[in-house]
């Protein structure tokens, strides 16, 4: 049986159990009234649990070289997020500490994957360590920040994993294929339950986990091939740019950059589509699909990738301004 199917089936069983048990024992239910909340019912926010457990079991068995190390690195990310899912009171400082620990594990276990080539400048190895830690913490938070619309974070992540799988196939990077197939299968199950049936949310454990693993696996593929160092910036454009712009916007307005609000691009689009999760996510996933096609076609061409990144920023600002006026 193909590994992707095994992952899908295991994740399916674990998702069913999570969806049934959380309400029964009244744990990990999203009952908060946070500003970014757009749903009305109390739904389990424990999607990270079945995804992580599927990954833990299958990565350990099917990827004995990378799997155990990557599981160990991911563990603090999952624990920190899961504690927030249970208590809904964990401060961002404590969550940051868990992320920092995970990135320290990464730079220790994967010394050959420190990011030093930024395309326009080469960092020294010590500076590369600092940059890698900063980048991984940033992308981990970025995926959590965009997790406000059903299917958005998981749908984007699925496309990222699929793109990395295709790049791995093209560059004969067989080591990464099992990990990507496991994550595609387990994340697809969540996407179905979340996007089509609204039965479960990622929670912080899920969004942090998918963000961290997306960042790590992108580093693996880029560093192991002739891919441009700009691949991560383009492939993960929306979470990266939405985070950077949100920080700037909040600071400009004199607000705490770490506190959530409903001024994100996906929230404005959600209001434009009259509170339709389906339309909002579909539009953003179609854009991500086009981005993925550009990356697959031009993953070696830094000039085209930079041009794409700049064009996406311009499109973002133009659309954001239009949506803001209509809102």
Instruction: Return binding residues for Mg(2+).
Output: 144, 204
> What is the rounded distance in angstroms from the CA atom of residue 138 to the CA atom of residue 246?
13
Give the pair of three-digit tokens for residue 16.
Answer: 């069913």
Distance from C-alpha of 183 to C-alpha of 148, rounded to nearest angstrom: 21
Other Cβ atoms closer than 10 A to 223:
16
Question: Nearest CA to 7 among 57, 79, 68, 70?
Answer: 57
3-state secondary structure of 117: strand
Binding residues: 144, 204
From CA 305, how far away is CA 99, in angstroms rounded? 29
- How many CB atoms are closer than 10 A to CB 174? 9
Tokens found for residue 164 = 């990395």
């Amino acid at each position: 049986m193909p590994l992707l199917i095994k992952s899908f089936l295991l994740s399916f069983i674990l998702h069913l159990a999570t969806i049934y048990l959380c309400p029964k024992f009244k744990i990990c239910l999203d009952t908060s009234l946070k500003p970014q909340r757009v749903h009305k019912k109390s739904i389990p926010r424990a999607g990270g649990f079945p995804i992580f457990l599927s990954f833990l079991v299958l990565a350990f068995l099917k990827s004995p070289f990378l799997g155990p190390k990557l599981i160990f690195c991911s563990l603090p990310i999952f624990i920190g997020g899961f504690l927030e899912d249970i208590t809904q009171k964990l401060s961002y400082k404590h969550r940051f500490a868990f992320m920092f620990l995970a990135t320290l594990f990464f730079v220790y276990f994967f010394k050959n994957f420190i990011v030093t080539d930024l395309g326009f400048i080469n960092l020294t190895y010590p500076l590369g360590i600092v940059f890698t830690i900063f980048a991984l913490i940033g992308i981990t938070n970025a995926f959590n920040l965009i997790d406000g619309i059903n299917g958005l974070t998981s749908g984007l992540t699925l496309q990222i994993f699929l793109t990395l799988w295709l790049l791995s196939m093209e560059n004969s990077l067989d080591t990464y294929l099992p990990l990507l197939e496991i994550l595609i299968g387990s994340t697809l199950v969540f996407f179905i339950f979340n996007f089509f049936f609204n039965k479960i949310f990622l929670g912080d454990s899920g969004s942090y986990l998918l963000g961290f693993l997306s960042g790590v696996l992108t580093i693996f593929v880029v560093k192991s091939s002739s891919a441009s160092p700009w691949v991560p910036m383009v492939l993960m454009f929306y979470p990266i740019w939405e985070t950077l712009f949100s920080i700037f916007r909040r600071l400009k307005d004199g607000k705490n950059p770490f506190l959530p609000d409903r001024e994100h691009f996906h929230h404005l689009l959600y209001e434009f589509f009259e509170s339709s999760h389906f339309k909002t996510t579909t539009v953003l996933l179609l854009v991500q699909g086009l981005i993925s096609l550009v990356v697959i076609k031009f993953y070696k061409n830094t000039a085209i990738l930079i041009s794409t990144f700049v064009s996406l920023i311009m499109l973002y600002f133009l659309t954001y301004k239009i949506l803001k006026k209509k809102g």
